[in-house]
A and B are shown apart, each in its own frame.
Chain A
């Protein structure tokens, strides 16, 4: 095949729908039948615009990219970034671009999307006025907000509330102005709008409904400084975001004479073909055959699939209209609307539950026979993923509708299992995947996990709202086919770490041996996996179990990995490294001198760590107590560098010295490090505190990171550096000191309770059902009613803490282990030798090469030289 014989498909617009078209074309096996050229206006590849706001809670633009690396190259797509189309010549079948390219096409696909509607008011173009559409818009808002105090959003719809959440998150006093009498007028009714408004106002966002904006007032310097409204009122504001809806971008089509709708949108038929048979239009720029322009991604995806199938000469499903169901989390409030939400079907009845105190509103629309037509859920949309697929199927609900909206304790709510769904029910709305297809992925394509099913079917890879339902279907299906998944910790235990934690806690089991005897699936010794894991669980719960809190006591001593056993870190030649705790990285000159003297006197290699402390390498087991005697005397304590426990809380210098700092980050870091030191956990824990948004302490790369704001502290969780870097997600913002500590207490204890062995918070957050939202519900909103218990566990840990090294030095029994040879105390291990490098020492590995080398080095005259005492 040569390029000259392949017809050209030219895609104008590289947003989510454009990308989906490219994927669908490849999936249909037609990517190599065409030369595919893509013109993108933005400087980056297609990204997840639906998740745009997550940029403010830690996602980078790269995180939001839709295509995997090498996608374009793999399929031979030519993508031109920052080069939008400027004109179409339908006669010549060419498109001209901003950079002056002229590209000939055989088939043209328009996926130009939409633009934000800005009402034609005075001052709308002033400095400080923004729209909310692209990553570049968000960059600009973020930069401008840094010097602002008040922000206002014009538009109380879906995007408007997202923008309001973003402004709030940037620390602005936030207002929302909506022309309609309620918030989100398209998705929810009056009752839902009221519930939403109350919850959002409680968060400190001021909501103005039923008024229109008449002008943006402008300072003499040309910057926005206020707004005036139709009711004669006004508002002082530094920043205005217009988010009053979108309009189809149909100018290219208009200019070349394609048919467009009266109120905009490129008119297409049910095959998404425009008035020119060589031109298609898909997504938000298209006016569908039912006379609507769809501003949601799922219908856009359907159109993209339909066109790709036609180009692949495959049967394509005509696009005649789409479901407008949505589920969102706006400012932390769940809002869902699906099916016939407003009850417009003749004869429709509704069942409503409304609790204005807690901001919950649920309405289900049903037929007289009891079949579900649609509904609105505000404040608690848990049931969305199981209800939406049932809407419009015509099958009467298996339980009375009222039992589905009532709160717990009032005879409900009943949750519908996956068995209530018929096979043709659409589980994933974004990719139009039915329950039957998900089941087939498990039974026919042997997918055994949710990630495998996602990969196989694409279900759950759009907005993600169906993942919970997906996992229920997958596990139901696995169970039905008799496949058992071994989730056991190790060969000895069939339970997960979290399950063992609960068993230890509830049955108050304080030894590995008893746990293995009563709950293991193998008798015997246990193994190198379950011993330290159970040791860690027992150590975390020691006060509750009335067990010794010291990891070297009783059976505990036999469970610890060598690092914990010697309270130091084993290095490659059998020597250990020593890390004294330096809370928050703050150290006196005297402290530094002591560390320096100890290192010098014991000949240790010294290096500064990434966690703002000092690592001393090359100590033998005999030297460890001698080294620590001096360190403890000088006031140092164990840094727990050897344990699966809190390492350091790094800090920047904060408001005490830094001209940008807004809070005392050093004091907070020290406070946190002293509070959580010694806490045993499923994996190591790292933290940092930054004194301002410049983030010099790199808190968002930590398991829990704290960033100062002018109003208090923002708490981020689940960050990680290392091999799989992840920026931490915002858990809660503008906390005072007490609130911050309370939330960290709960977060850490919840993690310790539910994480797998060696699962860092980042992986845990990705794995745990419900993800960050669930963790926030539990930790911030106490949805499981365990917050008191988690706080009490932490309070016990704090009051029970003792320095492991001081306690070890004080106990002859614990000290006995620190000899190289049990039968020759005082004899140094001859295999541990060092050679010089860059003014310090490094391990001499040549002696370790063979046993003969070592013996020869010890005994040059070939006579026995060691006398055993």
Chain B
């Protein structure tokens, strides 16, 4: 697993309409998630990707849309979409796993509590209805 942190493009919803559709990039194609209004700031939803994988999609307090793998690598359970969002003192936004509370950076996919662990991050975008 690579240790270089790469930043992935994410959508910003500040100017978007409630009916704009959130999409995530997986295997080279954009997959639909839901309308923006379905996603409350600070919470996540789970989306099924065309290849059978799952993504956890979040909206943070700055209205940015993030998508990461839904699988919690510490337990194997597909639950990250149900974690709570937080931010560190230096402004990194993360989700805390609802099972054993490890934190994952939503922009880089790095685990903040175990640097050897990193999960997949998906780019996101908003498409007008």
CA distance A55 to B50 in the complex (A): 67
The answer to whether the Cβ of B28 comes within 8 Å of any Cβ in the partner chain is no
Closest B residue to A849 using CB positions? B76
If the complex has contacts A562-B83, A570-B82, are A868 and B101 also in contact, measured as CB distance less than 8 A?
no
Task: Flag if A823 contacts B32 (CB, 8 Å).
Answer: yes
| CB interface residues, A 807-865, toward B, < 8 Å | 816, 820-824, 827, 829-831, 845, 848-851, 854-855, 858-859, 864-865
Closest B residue to A522 using CB positions? B89
Closest B residue to A570 using CB positions? B98
Which of A134-142, A234-242, A523-531 has 4 or more CB atoms under 8 Å from chain B?
A523-531
Closest A residue to B40 using CB positions? A558
Cβ contacts under 8 Å, B49 to chain A: 868
CA distance A830 to B52 in the complex (A): 9
CA distance A513 to B45 in the complex (A): 21
Q: Chain B, 69-104, contact with A by CB distance < 8 Å: what is the 0/1 string?
A: 101000111110011111111010100101101010
**Among the listed B32, B46, B53, B85, which residue makes an inter-chain contact with A820, where contact means beta carbons less than 8 Å apart?**
B46
Cβ contacts under 8 Å, B87 to chain A: 522, 524-527
Cβ contacts under 8 Å, A561 to chain B: 84, 98
Task: Flag if A823 contacts B47 (CB, 8 Å).
Answer: yes
Task: Flag if A855 contacts B61 (CB, 8 Å).
Answer: no
| CB interface residues, A 235-286, toward B, < 8 Å | none
Task: Flag if B75 contacts A848 (CB, 8 Å).
Answer: yes
Interface of A is mostly: loop
CA distance A525 to B42 in the complex (A): 8
Min Cβ gap B65→A in Å is: 13
Task: Flag if A866 contacts B78 (CB, 8 Å).
Answer: no
Task: Flag if B75 contacts A864 (CB, 8 Å).
Answer: no
CA distance A526 to B93 in the complex (A): 9
The answer to whether the Cβ of B51 comes within 8 Å of any Cβ in the partner chain is yes
The answer to whether the Cβ of B118 comes within 8 Å of any Cβ in the partner chain is no
The answer to whether the Cβ of B31 comes within 8 Å of any Cβ in the partner chain is yes
The answer to whether the Cβ of A557 comes within 8 Å of any Cβ in the partner chain is yes
Interface centre among A562, A574, A820, A854 (most CB of B within 10 A): A574
Cβ contacts under 8 Å, A461 to chain B: none
Task: Flag if A829 contacts B78 (CB, 8 Å).
Answer: yes
CA distance A565 to B45 in the complex (A): 12
Cβ contacts under 8 Å, B93 to chain A: 524-525
If the complex has contacts A822-B34, A823-B33, are A574 and B77 also in contact, measured as CB distance less than 8 A?
yes
The answer to whether the Cβ of A491 comes within 8 Å of any Cβ in the partner chain is yes
Cβ contacts under 8 Å, A823 to chain B: 31-34, 47-48
Task: Flag if A866 contacts B77 (CB, 8 Å).
Answer: no
Task: Flag if B98 contacts A562 (CB, 8 Å).
Answer: yes
The answer to whether the Cβ of B60 comes within 8 Å of any Cβ in the partner chain is yes
The answer to whether the Cβ of A357 comes within 8 Å of any Cβ in the partner chain is no
CA distance A829 to B52 in the complex (A): 10
Cβ contacts under 8 Å, A850 to chain B: 76
CA distance A570 to B101 in the complex (A): 13
Closest A residue to B95 using CB positions? A528
Interface, chain B (partner A; CB < 8 A): 31-34, 38, 40-43, 45-54, 57, 60-61, 69, 71, 75-79, 82-89, 91, 93, 96, 98-99, 101, 103
Other A-B pairs beyond A854-B52, A864-B52, 11, CB < 8 Å? A513-B61, A525-B85, A528-B101, A529-B86, A570-B99, A816-B38, A822-B46, A823-B31, A823-B34, A824-B47, A859-B52
Interface, chain A (partner B; CB < 8 A): 491, 513, 522, 524-529, 531-532, 555, 557-559, 561-562, 565-566, 570, 572-574, 816, 820-824, 827, 829-831, 845, 848-851, 854-855, 858-859, 864-866, 868
5 tightest A-B CB contacts, nearest first: A848-B76, A527-B86, A558-B42, A524-B87, A525-B87
What are 15 residue pairs bridging A and B, where the CB atoms are less than 8 Å apart in the complex?
Answer: A524-B91, A524-B93, A528-B83, A528-B101, A531-B86, A557-B40, A558-B41, A565-B82, A821-B48, A822-B33, A822-B46, A823-B47, A848-B75, A851-B53, A864-B52
